[in-house]
Amino acid sequence: MEPSKSAEVASFVDQLYRQESRRVFATLVRLLRDFDLAEEAMHEAFTSAVEKWPIEGIPISPRAWLVSAGRFKAIDTIRRRVRFDESLGEIAQRLNRSGPDTTDFLDGESIEDDRLRLIFTCCHPAIAPHAQVALTLREVCGLRTEEIANAFLTSPATIAQRIVRGKAKIREAGIPFEIPTVAQMPQRLDSVLSVIYLVFNEGYSASSGEAVIRCELSEEAIRLGRLLVELLPDAEALGLLALMLIQESRRAARTSASGDIVLLEEQDRSLWSRDLIVEGSSLIERALTTRRFGAYTLQAAIAAVHAEAEHPESTDWKQIVALYDVLARVEPSPVVDLNRAVAIAMRDGPEAGLALIEPILNSGPLSQYHLAHAAKADLCRRMGRTREAGEAYRQALTLARQEPERRFLERRLRELE
């Protein structure tokens, strides 16, 4: 085997792992009905690919090869364990029924839909809501426990406990790996939408690390959103997809060539994707006509107002505040209150916004949220209250985990000094 050939295949497998590992995992979960066994089989399949593909060549369908290899690895593992647990014998027999040289187990159930199936499994009503979201982010999307904890503004230990409990509930309750019927769908939809949106947010604005954007996550969330709308064109599914599309439309303008953050008011709007904005706006209109819309549709409408403004100065802040007023009634939260306060500052001046933000910070829930302190700092800066602005920027800096955000806050501090 030539070293260059081996290195080339290893690089290909590494890229494939980043792009396809969670899809392979989802299909293996469907086949094996065991999260831990599927995770082990998936990793063994990728290891096998690194060993065999330099010799045998890369298969026409790498993903199907990996699923098949993972399945055989799982059968071997179960056979080794069967002497200690007789219940595993039936699983091994079921997995082996299609024969050693066929991939019939993939027919009729598209691998493409397996991640959606896995989401609905993780979001079964028998599982506690917090565990549903944490479990899906970990198992479907492969986010680390720390990343999920940042999204929830809680500790990694708490998230790890939720994931363990969620897996145990699926196993103990015998929750099926399937997409629910239309009649069952509404009670499962809220958690699924929440999961998809959290995945998108982690891609749109990574909770930590060197990059602001993780394109693979935001693109995956949009793909899942499209699948869900195709399956169930519910108003809020439409609204969520619209929100993601309009937010995604600004991707190219949100960071500089060096990876630094570019604020909305400073972005080159010619870089915004008009196609995504048009598609998102059309989905908003569809959702609004149902008169059964909720928080996602309202957030999408707010994003659309920003997208419609050709220049920052032409932004209709009066309309945005009105939409936030409705959103605060439909789904009240400290983050909504913070965003509404910023919008009011843009409409009525920084003093009006600061009067609303300080009680939000003092009340507790957002005291460890770096963007709340950054918002206060910006309003103080605009009012010329340099000392208070510096204190708030420094507090935000101690809480920020994303390197581009930290560089932005450090730059603001230097400007004040």
- Domains of the chain, first to last: 3-100 (1.10.1740)
pLDDT tier at 143 (50, 70, 90 boundaries)? confident
* Most confidently predicted of 195-204, 345-354, 365-374: 345-354
Tally of CB atoms within 10 A around 97: 8
- Between 310 and 153, whose confidence is greater? 310
For residues 372-400, give the mean pLDDT.
94
Please list the alpha-helical segments (H only) found in 82-214.
88-96, 114-122, 129-139, 145-152, 156-173, 185-204
SS3 letters across 357-397? HHHHHHHCCCCCCHHHHHHHHHHHHHCCCHHHHHHHHHHHH
Tally of CB atoms within 10 A around 107: 9
How confident is the model at residue 12, as a pLDDT?
Answer: 93
261 forms beta bridges with 255
Tally of CB atoms within 10 A around 130: 17
How confident is the model at residue 167, as a pLDDT?
Answer: 92
Q: Is the pLDDT of residue 2 over 90?
A: no
For residues 84-96, give the mean pLDDT.
55
pLDDT tier at 214 (50, 70, 90 boundaries)? low
pLDDT tier at 266 (50, 70, 90 boundaries)? very high
Please report which helix (H) or strand (E) contains residue 229, including its range: helix 215-231
Q: Is the pLDDT of residue 323 over 80?
A: yes
Of the listed ranges 119-128, 202-211, 379-388, 407-416, the least confidently predicted one is 202-211
Q: Which residues of 248-282 are buried (b: 16+ CB within 10 A; e: fewer)?
A: bbbbebbbeeeeebbeeeebeeeebbeebbebbbe
State the DSSP code for 155: -
- Using DSSP, state whether 256 is helix, strand or coil: coil
Q: Is the pLDDT of residue 122 over 80?
A: yes
- Token output for 141: 């999307």
CA angle 240, 331, 144 (to 5 degrees): 60
Please report which helix (H) or strand (E) contains residue 407, including its range: helix 403-416
- Token output for 361: 């910070």
Whether the Cβ atoms of residue 262 and residue 256 lie closer than 8 Å to each other: yes
Q: Is the pLDDT of residue 267 over 60?
A: yes
Amino acid 23 reads: R
Count how many Cα atoms sit within 13 Å of the Cα of residue 271 in the half-sphere of its side chain: 14
For residues 256-275, give the mean pLDDT.
91
- Token output for 383: 């009012």
Q: Is the pLDDT of residue 92 over 70?
A: no
Mean residue pLDDT of the chain comes to 86
